[in-house]
Structure 1
Amino acid sequence: MVCGGFTCSKNALCSLNVVYMLVGLLLIGVAAWGKGFGLVSSIHIIGGVIAVGVFLLLIAIVGLVGAIHHHQVMLFFYMVILFIVFLFQFGVSCSCLAMNGGQQEALLNSAWGMLNNKTKMDLESQLNCCGLLNTPESRAQFEQDVAHCTALCKSESCHTCGDLMLTHATVALKILGGVGLFFSFTEILGVWLAVRYRNQKDPRANPSAFL
């Protein structure tokens, strides 16, 4: 059967969802590995990564079961949810690619403010730095962070964590935006395959069966 037929669409959709399942399992495994080796101690970060992995795994399972059984309802919910994820991920990826220095600094300040002291101390120890940014607007927070800092460089002269992060932020955001943009197009491919597959008739089914 030529590619584009019922069997080809089914196999392509199944393969795509198997890839999504592997990515979801990888996210869960990496989060558990990071927690087990003490690389990240914040339960919020670990929980967030695991939640994304579980969500992706569940969506992939719905798509895989729907593709195997040609289940119209499951395929419908699969393509709707995947399209919403595509819109969100596409927007975030474009924002990462278009972000300038001032926006990067504002994003760092916002993210740093949401971290608890334990997570901040872990980051400072791993990066060997103290505090985020020593600016007039954040001087009080900076002095508080430095007072609790346990990095090895504290006995000498520490760089601020914000300066270290901003040095590599542009490259990191471009990589993150590029990877997110690539996966967003695989998601729109999944939506297209699901729509195409739903509208195809199983050649082995009863000719009078409802499509």
Structure 2
Amino acid sequence: MVCGGFTCSKNCLCALNLLYTLVSLLLIGIAAWGIGFGLISSFRVVGVVIAVGIFLFLIALVGLIGAVKHHQVLLFFYMIILLLVFIVQFSVSCACLALNERQQRQLLEVGWTSTVTARKDIERNLNCCGFNAFNSSETCSAKLFLFQACYTNLQCSPCAPIIEEYSGMVLRFVGGIGLFFSFSEILGVWLTYRYRNQKDSRANPSAFL
């Protein structure tokens, strides 16, 4: 059986959706692990990760059922949704790779001021106080010795230099992973389009697809 046939297209589409299923379960597992070990206490961050994982799982489930049953309607909606996800993910990935240091710093500062819970997680895990400088009117979730030093002589380690040290690497990693999966999504769109228009040679030859 050549790799351009019905069976090969079906198996490739099933394998691609099984990969998406594993990635979605991995995202949900990482979010649960972060909560369980106290690394993440922001329910907004966890909720976004879990929502993305569930959304990806549902897309993979629709694609898997459509591929197994050769269901024309499910495959059509799967192809449209996957194409929209590709456009969004490709744009976000390119934006992550194109951000300069000034833009990264502005985004980090906006994220720092927009949520208190994530700020506490960063101070506790990175052992720092404040973004650029510590304000004595605020609280700090860093370890005890640094917390005391902040209030006695205001000589604290701000979080901005520590975060900026890793932000570029994280953005490049996220952008690269996003680009990889975006090309796998356009591959899924192409496979789905081809598979929808193929006929099962083992089925009734006079039947419609």
Output the TM-score relative to the length of structure 2.
0.92
Unaligned segments of structure 2, at least 5 residues? 150-154
Q: Is 1:47 the equivalent of 2:47? A: yes
Distance of 1:34 and 1:105 partners within structure 2: 25
Superposed CA RMSD: 1.4
Point out where structure 1 has 5 or more consecutive residues left out of the alignment: 135-141
Runs of 4+ in 1 over 6 A off after TM superposition: none
Partner AA of 2:121 in structure 1: D
State TM-score, norm by structure 1: 0.91
Q: Which residue of 1 aligns with 2:157?
A: 159
- Sort the Cα spacing of 1:123 and 1:170 in 2 relative to 1 into closer, same or farther, 3 A: same
Deviation per CA, 1:20-68, whole angstroms, max 9, x where unpaired?
0011111111111111121111111111111111000000000000000
- State the alpha-carbon separation in 2 of the partners of residues 164 and 37 from structure 1: 22
**2:131 paired residue number:** 132
Q: Which amino acid letter does the alignment assign opposite residue 205 of structure 2? A: P
**Superposition pairs for residues 23-38 of structure 1, below 5 Å?**
23-38=23-38
Report the CA distance between 1:106 and its aligned residue: 1.1
CA drift of 1:158 comes to 2.2
Q: How many residues align?
A: 202
The corresponding residue for 1:143 is 135
Give secondary structure in 1 for the equivalent of 2:135: helix
Please give the alpha-carbon distance, in whole angstroms, between the structure 1 residues aligned to 2:192 and 2:71.
11
Q: Could you give the per-residue CA deviations for residues 144-190 of structure 1, whole angstroms, max 9, x where no partner exists?
A: 7x721131223333221121111121111111111111111111111
Q: Structure 2: which amino acid aligns with 1:74?
A: L
Partner of 1:204 in structure 2? 202
CA contact (8 A) 1:132 1:162 kept: yes
Residue identity (%): 59
Please give the residue correspondences for 1:41-120 in structure 2 after superposition, counting only pairs within 5 Å: 41-116=41-116, 118-120=117-119
